[in-house]
Amino acid sequence: MNLHEYQARELLRRHGIPVPADAVADTPDQVRAVAQRLGGKVVVKAQVHAGGRGKAGGVKLANTPDEAAAHASRILGMQIKGLTVHKVLVAPAVEIASESYVGIVVDRGSQRPLLMVSAAGGVDIEEVAAATPEQIHRVAVDPRYGLLPHQGLGLGLRLYRNVAQARLAAEIMTKLYAACYAVGASLAEINPLATTPDGQVLALDAKIVIDDNELDRRPEIAALRDATAEAPSEVQAREAGLTFVKLDGTVGCCVNGAGLAMATMDLVKYYGGAPANFLDIGGSSNPQKVVSALRIITADPSVKAILFNIFGGITRGDDVANGIVQATQQFPIKVPLVIRLTGTNEAEAIAILTKAGFSALTDMDEAVKRAVAQANA
């Protein structure tokens, strides 16, 4: 789960990291009031789950409260990478002497939290990694010991020659590391970590991604989810216990298992079609989930055909068949339905489907070919 910048700033602040005061607003008037309260120049920043906000015109400097409100009226409602801006952050414009990068990501290679710093901050760290990898310094932290003081100071000295500033940076790294474990973050970045002309070290922007698996045990973090920042179909799917990702194609896919779901999408493309979504109904076999899945898929006007691909293991074929039948009783399905179903309780499933007027295939390739043909017809 992605957090908004304003949420990430607040979490870092609570963990003792110096972040300038700020406020979030959703109208230009609120922005004007905040800018007045903060005094001086402010920066107005679109709060959306997308990178490249600056380039898209979603980050603006304002010299006066009126200018801040004017910027806000342009930014609020703007689309950035397909996402609508509903909120802006207003923060004091800080005079910056230098910009660095500090980030922690759970690293698959070392199987540890990887602390990364770069004196080339304020820009996309992936670009730095591609262009000048030697500018990124890394420590894979052993979580049994935590970030050790010399590791933080060693990285701090990669950012600043001044040992006092290096110690401030090290302290921020220690707190960022603690924050990761405290909030269940799989990624936490400060970019830029800025120095001011008077020697302060401040976090001016923050990005935190929460591991979805942490949400059950951290209700206070789960409560930070902003459903308005996601596609409505994905919100619906999550509430129904489905894993769903909206895509651009015309073949709606309903599969059990993430790997098989991806392979199904790939096969749709292989046979000349385009998947409309990723959808995993999961291992449990609850007819209601199938009903929800069909409701979400059929709500997408670009879907021209629906493909079921079920390999019954824990998932029972009869449950899926019942779900399909129940769905057709609850709402109209106006596009062709191609059903591939094999494995556990296959015979019962086919009996149920046949009785309801559906036919079912047992071969995956055959089913995908038909669905693509229907969608492209």
Residues that bind another protein (CB under 8 A): 106, 108-109, 111-113, 126, 142-145, 148-151, 153-154, 157, 163-164, 166-167, 180-181, 184, 186, 211-214, 216-217, 243, 245, 247, 255-263, 265-270, 274-275, 278, 280, 283, 311-315, 342-344, 364-365
- Catalytic: 6? no
Tokens matching residue 257: 């298992």
Helix (H) or strand (E) holding 120: none
- Burial label, 62 (beta-carbon count in 10 A; 0-12, 13-18, 19+): buried
| CB of 57 vs another protein, minimal distance in Å | 21
Helix (H) or strand (E) holding 281: none
Which DSSP state fits 212? Answer: G
| CB of 305 vs another protein, minimal distance in Å | 16
Task: Report how far residue 282's alpha carbon sits from residue 238's, in angstroms, rounded to the nearest whole number.
Answer: 12
Q: Among positive and negative, which fits the CA dihedral 243, 248, 252, 257?
A: negative
Among residues 299, 265, 302, the alpha carbon closest in space to that of 280 is found at 265
| CB of 130 vs another protein, minimal distance in Å | 8
Which DSSP state fits 228? Answer: G
| CB of 368 vs another protein, minimal distance in Å | 9
| CB of 281 vs another protein, minimal distance in Å | 10
Closest to another protein by CB, 181 vs 331, is: 181
- Catalytic: 220? no
- Burial label, 40 (beta-carbon count in 10 A; 0-12, 13-18, 19+): exposed
Closest to another protein by CB, 243 vs 326, is: 243
Closest to another protein by CB, 50 vs 94, is: 50
Q: Spot the catalytic one: 5, 6, 101, 230.
A: 101
Closest to another protein by CB, 61 vs 227, is: 227
> Beta strands of the chain (E only): which ranges?
23-25, 42-46, 59-62, 79-80, 83-84, 88-92, 98-107, 112-118, 136-140, 185-195, 201-203, 206-210, 243-246, 251-255, 277-280, 305-312, 337-343, 360-361
| CB of 165 vs another protein, minimal distance in Å | 10
Closest to another protein by CB, 14 vs 81, is: 81
Output b/e per residue, 122-131; b: 16+ Cβ within 10 A: beebeebeee
Tokens matching residue 190: 């400060």
Closest to another protein by CB, 312 vs 323, is: 312
Q: Spot the catalytic one: 5, 171, 189, 230.
A: 189
> Is residue 359 within 8 Å of residue 374, measured between CB atoms?
no
**Which residues are tagged catalytic?**
101, 189
